[in-house]
Amino acid sequence: MSKIKPSKGAPYARIMGVGGYRPTRVVPNEVILETIDSSDEWIRSRSGIATRHWASDEETVAAMSVEASGKAIADAGITPEQIGAVVVSTVSHFKQTPAIATEIADKIGAGKPAAFDISAGCAGFGYGLTLAKGMIVEGSAEYVLVIGVERLSDLTDLEDRATAFLFGDGAGAVIVGPSQEPQIGPTIWGSEGDKSETIKQTVAWDEFHTGDASKLPLDSEGNIKFPAITQEGQAVFRWAVFEMAKVAKEALDAAGLSPDDLDVFIPHQANERIIDSMVKTLKLPEHVTVARDVRTTGNTSAASIPLAMERLLATGEAKSGDTALVIGFGAGLVYAATVVTLP
């Protein structure tokens, strides 16, 4: 028989507070059209996006995260010192080490929490939320800060007609803490690595480091292009619409709910056509509020779900205590879906 003392965590976990940060610069489609042959009408019809936010030099991954985290901490009614772990999901922190989570933890005055980064693309917030729930229930932390943050403008090829208009910057954060009743449902998550080539970085960092112009993509002026995110749009669209609707339904079933029980649907803000198709496939009732933050924020990858959640609560389109289905999906291809009670 094991001599190890059992963990003493909370029976359940919940989202206690949410915060977001959008860079001050708003970029309309007209700016994107300076480098691609397209139109405002085409971009809106294909993606729903009218504007996005791009970060300035001062609005770093850490700086945006600190702003979003401060709002989430205040919303949760705790102090930074109470945070036992900081989990950051991002693909746009360019230092291999140390993790940006350690810098953020220090800047918010969190003391000495566990701090680490995860790379799960647009599903990263769902992955972080699931890890946080496990820490709370297991007892290794009482409060966990989960951040989704991206500066995708740094990884955007402005000459790529398929992706130049998609990406934006921003940070979203939540505080996860103990609960006496279930407020974060079971997570349905997974990966389909055989489809990893459909969303990827154009050039690996080691290849870019060689600087061999004969082997690297060049811009219209013959300069080596910085690595960027590229995707096979139609393949990703079909996968998201058909496969992710199934995953969303599994998350509802795992939580013991039906579409009629939902108040809010917060999918990853990748593309409004994907959102509309998922709503139709899931047969969501008209009373369900659907997040459409993509229209003015663009695709912010790991930040998109917490940013959309924060805006819905701030505008009154959703309210504390509402039941929300959240699902993220993207590069890998990876996905994560769960049902939560909004803070």
Compute CA distances 170 → 26, 159, 319, whole Å: 12, 22, 23
- Map tokens 């509402």 to a residue: 322
The vertex-178 CA angle with 22 and 9, nearest 5°, equals 130
Q: How many CB atoms lie within 10 A of CB 195?
A: 16
| Rounded Cα–Cα distance for residues 316 and 310 (Å) | 10
| Rounded Cα–Cα distance for residues 120 and 134 (Å) | 17
| Rounded Cα–Cα distance for residues 121 and 118 (Å) | 9
Residue 289: partners with Cβ closer than 8 Å, 6 or more residues away: 263, 264, 265, 312, 317, 318, 322
- Map tokens 């079971």 to a residue: 186
Residues carrying an active site annotation: 122, 268, 299
Using DSSP's 3-state secondary structure scheme, residue 103 falls into helix
Supply the DSSP symbol for 224: B
Rounded to 10 deg, the angle between the 233-254 and 272-282 helix axes is 40
- Map tokens 């060689």 to a residue: 210
The amino acid sitting at 63 is A
H or E segment to which residue 326 belongs: strand 323-330
How many residues comprise the chain? Answer: 343
- Assigned token pair, 191: 């990966």
In sequence order, the β-bridge partners of residue 88 are 117, 147
H or E segment to which residue 169 belongs: strand 169-179
Rounded to 10 deg, the angle between the 40-47 and 272-282 helix axes is 30
| Rounded Cα–Cα distance for residues 328 and 266 (Å) | 9
